[in-house]
Homo-oligomer: A and B are copies of this chain.
């Protein structure tokens, strides 16, 4: 174990960083302008006099609440369901998750006895660390959150199976591949157990947010078990809803969101969605088809993203390694995909690191964001988002992070703490 530098040295190093007048942002998983440029071309599509769908429909007019058949066909392999069990909506898969929950609260889902809002109390299982916007949906609608620890194979299934027996537990969040923020991909065994487990609520739903299905950072391709198939085989065909979007494939602010599930769930969802709107923006769907063309088109685009993203992730992990490598003051993920690096710092230090970083002009996601209600009881986890800044900025930001972690750890040790991450 390498000793960490003396407090005074770190304070001097920190002051020097402050003097550099940086203005960096690693708060959110936003694509960089260079990534958005990969979809240049989309902005001039479909082009004039091109508005016919494959079925001959005029994409400019009303209708078609399920989305274009050709888009559903293109993304069927990504979602793991046939086109007829897919819905393509407007931008933001978060919006589709929101709507699913809202319909469940106000109408109830297939297999349920009543609307979820008519239950005394309902709860969701929340793998932790997890995605703050998932937690915010639960919080705003008064859905209790039960944290479930993450392991390298996904959520701790002993905990999940135990908690799911509670009939108040109506749902569970999952980012099954390159999990936000830890980067884990659920193992086959985890998916099988999720698909087969007994639940206290007959209308339990698994919100399978496969946001990073295509977002690899290496040449490896994890084989995520098809959760819809697993649930059907496990006797719970209506359990899982798979969500995905092109927000980090084409354009973050102008992509397509989609979901897939069982026939009964899709029928139920469309009945409600058809009350909400006469249909999604089909012209944007046509635009995407013209631009992406086919699976090869998507793959080429994702290779482009990888070439831009992988060096940024490497810059962070290498810089952290150089400064913190053998000190025991931090531990971090080296993800093979997705948008985040999870950084673990000594207990009680995460909030301090964010504050110190802000003092050097680096905005980090608030400590606690990885936990329900924004509260990390041990104040030790941080989510780093290296996608948006330039490579040079990411390198500078990682230097700042490393220095702030060392300084916070040294301060903590000075105050009687261990200044080390738990073994």
Residues of A near any B CB (own CB < 8 A): 28, 30-31, 33, 36, 39-41, 43-51, 58-64, 90-92, 94-95, 98-99, 102, 105-107, 117, 133, 136-137, 140-141, 247, 251-254, 272, 275-284
Check B94–A102 contact: CB distance below 8 A. Answer: no
Q: Kindly list chain B residues whose C-beta atoms are within 8 Å of the C-beta of A276.
A: 92, 94-95, 98-99
Q: Are B281 and A281 in contact (CB under 8 A)?
A: yes
Do A102 and B106 have beta carbons less than 8 Å apart?
A: yes
Chain B residues whose CB sits within 8 angstroms of the CB of A284 once the complex forms: 254, 281, 284
Complex CA gap A231/B375 in Å reads 42
Q: Compute how far the CA of A45 lies from the CA of B283 in the bound complex, rounded to whole angstroms.
A: 12
Q: Is the CB of A98 within 8 A of B60?
A: no
**B275 engages A136 (CB within 8 Å):** yes
B275 touches A137 (CB 8 A): yes
Q: In whole angstroms, what is the CA distance A51 to B102 when docked?
A: 33
Beta-carbon contact of B48 and A40 below 8 Å = yes
Q: How many copies does the complex hold?
A: 2
10 further A-B contacts with Cβ under 8 Å, apart from A36-B58, A107-B141, are A36-B51, A36-B60, A43-B46, A92-B277, A94-B277, A95-B276, A102-B106, A106-B117, A136-B275, A140-B275
Q: Are B49 and A91 neighbours in the complex by a CB distance under 8 Å?
A: no
Cα-based distance from A49 to B37 in the complex (angstroms): 8
Residues of chain B within 8 A (CB-CB) of A279 are 92, 253
Given A106-B105, A277-B92, A48:B43 Cβ within 8 A: yes
Complex CA gap A63/B63 in Å reads 27
Give, as a whole number of angstroms, the nearest-CB distance from A284 to chain B: 7
* CA–CA, A311 and B107, complex, Å: 44
> Would you call B44 and A58 a contact (CB within 8 A)?
no
Q: Does B253 contact A59, Cβ atoms closer than 8 Å?
A: yes
Q: Which residue of B lies closest to A94 (CB)?
A: B277
Residues of B contacting A33 in the complex (Cβ-Cβ under 8 angstroms): 58, 61
- Report the nearest B residue to A282, measured CB to CB: B253
Tell me the nearest residue of chain B to A272, going by C-beta.
B140
